[in-house]
Chain A
Amino acid sequence: MEEQAAQLTQAIDSILAGAGSLVPELLLALFFLLLVTLDLFKSKTVKRLLPWVALTGLFSVMVLLVLDRHVAEVQFLNLLRSDGIARYAGILFSLTGIFTILLSLQNPKIEKRKQGEGRGEYYALILMLVLGLNLMAKSVNLLMVFLAIEVVSIASYILTLTLKEEKRAVEAGLKYVLYGTLSAGVMLYGMSFFYGLTGSLDYTLVSFWRSLLDASPLMVTVAAILVFAGFLFKISAAPFHFWTPDVYQGAPMPIVALFSTGPKMAGIIVIMRFVAAFADPTIASAFSDVQLFLGIAALATLAVGNFTALWQRTPRRLMAFSSVSHAGFLLMALLAFGSDYTASVLFYMTVLLFMNFGMFLFLQMAEEDWQVRTLEDFQGMGPRIPFAGIMALLFLLSLTGLPPLAGFMGKLLVFSNVWEAYTATGQPMLLVLLVVGILLTGVALFYYIKIPYHLFLKRNQTAENLVISLSNKLLLVFFALPLLVFFFKPDLLLHWIEKLLA
């Protein structure tokens, strides 16, 4: 009894000691509650204030994270780790949330729903989702990973259904829920295998991997496949990407932009933490199949994303497959075991954030203001919207990975890591990934260029100029500018990332 009490006090002490690192999450939860409470008021002024309250919350979290200086230690009984990765990711997630709300404010469909019905819950859920993302990036324990992913998923399901009067939204929401819960169940099942085999859920322990080595290889493989099914689902990698196009077609544009960045980045960080053990060559050589399996998944993702995108006729579906292909690139980066790729991956994700949000803002304008539904609808519109057209061109070229835009820099860093890992290990899979990844850029150009192609090369009779609101123009510039800056001076960002990681 005495002993147990002592243990309990110890546990409570360590929890209390770690609580300081949770301030951003607590702040997010606080603002979430605040939004839900404010939503109860009927006053129109209060309703109008809701997005700004959410923005304040996210912004203060971001400022907190930028200024914050936390030691990289494991907290909450080895459940969470607030290190440089988590901190930088937290900043990225706050930005994701801010951008999502900025896009929502520009979206007439979301803003003009009758009497702001469900406004509070919409913005509150965005906060909840960001909270879940933060937890995903901090988790170093399988159970915690699962819980964090579920927080994100549940918020995602509801956000997909924001425009519930639209049929395609309902379809997307239903599909998403079904696939999502299935994959969550499968992942949990796999985790239980791991627990059974190792007696631990903490995959940062060396003993976790040692006991896996002793276990039956078949069981380990099955467990790994089940767990990775869940991870890959979250980052929309093949063969678990089937939900992507449907959800991208049904959800409101700001939410699509959010899905294409936030959960994907968090999922990548989860995988990154999981495979971090392979930086140790002895473990890596014992589990060399992992590289092969994940390599095949990355190749499949790249191929499916890029080649399927070729046949898409709507910008939303095109962007869905583009997002699949970017998952492939990120996954490929994680396989460069032995080379220190964290900074490259974080850089790539930052660039992805800006270019995706820029592109989705453009598509939102196209859809809401100019009634563009298919790629053909862009025909000849370039001269009518020269400014927005050029901005879209920048985003698309950055997504393709052409200089002088940051997308190129991101890919260059990732490819350098893969090359370096290939030099060190001589794994043929890495060379295949590198060559395929680079050459698929050519394919990527083919579909990304379709939008500028219709915009500028095709001609159209009507010539009246379309008006673009100043706020939209400013936002486009805001998303495009970092893409140029991070191409010409990537060291600005890289130095900072290095400093955080150190």
Chain B
Amino acid sequence: MNYTLSSLIFLPLLAALVVLLLPVRLERGIKAVTLGGTLLQLAVALWLYLGFDGTAVANGQTGYQFVEKLDWIGFSLGSLGRFQIEYFVGVDGVSIGMVLLTGIIGVIGVISSWNITKNIKGYFSLYLLLITSVMGCFLALDFFLFYLFFEFMLLPMYFLIGMWGGPKREYAALKFFIYTLIGSLFILIVMIGLYTSVIDPEATAQQMGLIGQSVPASLDLIRQVQQMLQQGAISQADLVRTFSIPAMMEPANFIPGSLLHVFSGVSLFDLPIRFVAFLLVLAGFLIKVPSVPVHTWLPDAHVEAPTPISVLLAAILLKVGGYGLIRIVYPVFPDAGAYFSTFVGGLGVLSIIYGALCALAMNDLKKLIAYSSVSHMGFVLLGLASLTNEGVNGAIYMMFSHGLISAMLFLVVGVIYDRAHDRMILNFRGLAKRMPAYTAFVVVAFFASLGLPGFSGFIAELLVLLGSFSAPEATGMLPRWMAIVAVIGLLLSAAYYLWALQRMFFGKYWIFPELRGKARLTDLTSREYLMLLPLAVLAFVFGIFPHLLLDKTGMTVTGFTELVLRNGQEQLNILQAILHK
């Protein structure tokens, strides 16, 4: 077996252990180990990116590459039969971009953390734990493993915001923790429902004695087991229940009589119980995305978090939400995904517009950028809800591109905050005169974010808009007005960025009198160049050569949309009976 993915996940963890063992006073050593660990991870991620075959057929159910599958926990629970939890990781077109992004941002975040002074050992070990769990989330294909990493992200983040954050850090950290925990509890409910309903056909065949232990099952045999399962010809004791996400995508793996089976006929609040489950997981991931109206934790967390943590939060943590929608929610509940597409798309459009309007009203530059994140994440929802190839590709591209650009945005805010200990837009004017290089990067970041052609954000927005505009014909999802309203969001984002640029950076140099004493507005240092320049170059490269990512995602997305649309339609037909009761 190939251990590339495990090394990606556990390299930072290993580095964290080394950091914990180093004595507190070896500050340089701690930083060096952290940087080394993340650099190594980036190298592996790059190697993975280059080795990933974008032409292979994949659809979420099959076609994973670099797969590692090991038995982890297996137990039988009385009448419930056997349970199986696997260490199951793999990469496909959806996750490859996220993995690369996590590698890049991991390194940038360390560079940006270089001037942290308080409790360095604690900070960097938590940082590395956070990177480990984010990476684990993107690679896990077992729901239990995914949930483990998903929940484990909360804790380091809580302490990173709560111990190294701004004045209201305790409040923001707690709010972040509670919000996302509630989200993950919704997910937990559905996870329990799913794993008690889904079997692993291969392991069941082994349990039944059809094939020997640890002999892989042929496709025919798997079909046969699935047929026997649906006919109720397998005894309870032989069923091996699984957390495997790909197994959950196959309707034939659901145990007849289980509540989440398409034929269960159970309804709750006049909706099929599958729809209720969909709405629960959807809510869980929407909190993480975040989408309006469950976004309110984000501005607080961003404003209070130290710069590097804001970068991590915006660039990779939020992506877990969108990623979870693509990896789990839609393929496992395609019927509900198709049924609620207007609802999800509507939330996307609402986030785009509402986030942009909020950003317009903000006086704090960091809050402005936080709300712009909400607005941009709306595009991910819109693209995904369209279920067109363009739309879903656009959603993935948006996550990747926003990862690069939002990192840059929070870094430039950090630069001004480091110097002036203030980031109110109205307290500064004409900064371009004093800090020309800094202003140049701000301009690049702002323009990249508002979707100027030539930067990655443009490609993403274009794809999403194309997808959602063509959706009514192509897939029958989304009303047409949604794409049109989303365009207004683009205009608004141009408005808030340009307005902020004009107010803060152009005109005659002036800063708020009270700041004059303490603010030392020097231009960028070489460390700041080191973290801003790569991001700017990457945003540009991925704006000019979109195929760098689209070639990798394309096949998976095609398979994904086909799977979701086909299964969705079939299952919706069955569920119509409940819906029109």
Contact = CB atoms under 8 A, between A and B. Distances in A.
Contact of B80 (A340, A491, A495): A340
A367 interface: no
B169 interface: yes
Which of B77, B182, B189, B257 is packed against the most chain A CB atoms within 10 Å? B77
Contacts, number: 100
A449 B177 contact: yes
A480 to B, nearest CB: 15
A458 B75 CA distance: 42
B259 A423 contact: yes
B474 interface: no
Which among B151, B192, B259, B268 has the highest number of chain A CB atoms within 10 Å?
B192
Contacts of A402: 151, 154-155, 181
B276 to A, nearest CB: 10
Contacts of A341: 78
Interface in B139-174: 147-148, 151-152, 154-155, 158-159, 162-163, 169-170, 173-174
A438 B185 contact: yes
A301 interface: no
B73 interface: yes
A340 B192 contact: no
A342 B178 contact: no
A344 B77 contact: yes
Max chain B C-beta neighbours (<10 A), residue from A408, A417, A419, A498: A419
B196 A445 contact: no
A438 B259 CA distance: 18
Contacts of B268: 431
A116 interface: no
A501 B225 CA distance: 31
Contacts of B169: 457
Contacts of B76: 498
Contacts of A419: 192-193, 196
Contact of A339 (B78, B148, B152): B78
B189 A449 contact: no
Contacts of B75: 490-491, 494-495, 498
Interface in A396-416: 397, 402-404, 408, 412-413, 415-416
A446 interface: yes
B192 A442 contact: no
A446 B173 CA distance: 12
A283 interface: no
A442 B177 CA distance: 9
A449 B162 CA distance: 12
B150 to A, nearest CB: 9
Contact of B178 (A408, A416, A438, A442): A442
A442 B181 contact: yes
A289 to B, nearest CB: 23
Contacts of B151: 402-403, 408
B77 A343 contact: yes
A453 B162 contact: yes
A17 interface: no
B119 interface: yes
B177 A416 contact: no
A490 B73 contact: yes
Contact of A403 (B77, B152, B174, B259): B152
A489 interface: yes
A383 B189 contact: no
Contacts of B72: 488
Given A403-B152, A456-B162, A420 B196 contact: yes
B170 A457 contact: yes
Contacts of A495: 75
A340 B79 contact: yes
Contacts of B435: none
Contact of B77 (A338, A413, A442): A413
Contacts of A338: 79
A312 interface: no
Contact-size category for B: 35 or more
B73 A491 contact: yes
Interface string B181-195: 110010011001101
A435 B277 CA distance: 12
A441 interface: yes
Nearest to A454: B170
B232 interface: no
Interface residues of A, number: 45
Contacts of B182: 439, 442
Interface string A157-189: 000000000000000000000000000000000
Contacts of B79: 338-340, 420
B189 A434 contact: yes
A416 B174 contact: no
A413 B144 CA distance: 13
Contact of A435 (B154, B170, B189): B189
A218 to B, nearest CB: 34
B168 to A, nearest CB: 11
B216 interface: no
A456 B163 contact: yes
A374 to B, nearest CB: 17
Nearest to B273: A431
Contacts of B195: 416
B181 A441 contact: yes
Interface string A416-453: 11011011001000010011001101100110010001
A411 B532 CA distance: 45
A403 B148 contact: yes
A439 B185 contact: yes
Contact of A342 (B78, B173, B177): B78
A498 B174 CA distance: 40
B324 to A, nearest CB: 16
B558 interface: no
Contacts of B147: 403
A441 B185 contact: yes
Nearest to B145: A403
Contacts of A498: 75-76
A445 B189 contact: no
A412 B188 CA distance: 9
B74 interface: yes
B257 A412 contact: no
Contacts of A340: 77-80
Interface in B257-281: 257-259, 266, 268
B78 A453 contact: no
B196 A423 contact: yes
Contacts of A423: 196, 257-259
Contacts of A416: 77, 80, 192, 195-196
A386 B125 CA distance: 14
A343 B152 CA distance: 27
Nearest to A383: B119
B178 A453 contact: no
B72 to A, nearest CB: 8
Contacts of A342: 78
Interface in B236-263: 257-259
B78 A489 contact: no
Contacts of A445: 177-178, 181
B192 A456 contact: no
B162 A457 contact: yes
A446 B77 contact: no
Contacts of B192: 412, 415-416, 419, 434
A55 B258 CA distance: 49
Contacts of A458: 170
22 contacts: A339-B78, A340-B79, A383-B119, A402-B154, A403-B147, A403-B151, A404-B148, A408-B151, A416-B192, A416-B196, A419-B196, A420-B80, A422-B259, A438-B185, A441-B185, A442-B182, A445-B178, A446-B174, A453-B174, A458-B170, A489-B73, A494-B75
Given A404-B152, A446-B174, A488-B72, 5 more contacts: A402-B181, A420-B196, A442-B182, A445-B177, A494-B77
Q: Which 10 A-B pairs have the closest CB atoms?
A: A340-B78, A457-B162, A491-B75, A494-B75, A340-B79, A403-B148, A442-B182, A457-B170, A403-B151, A415-B192
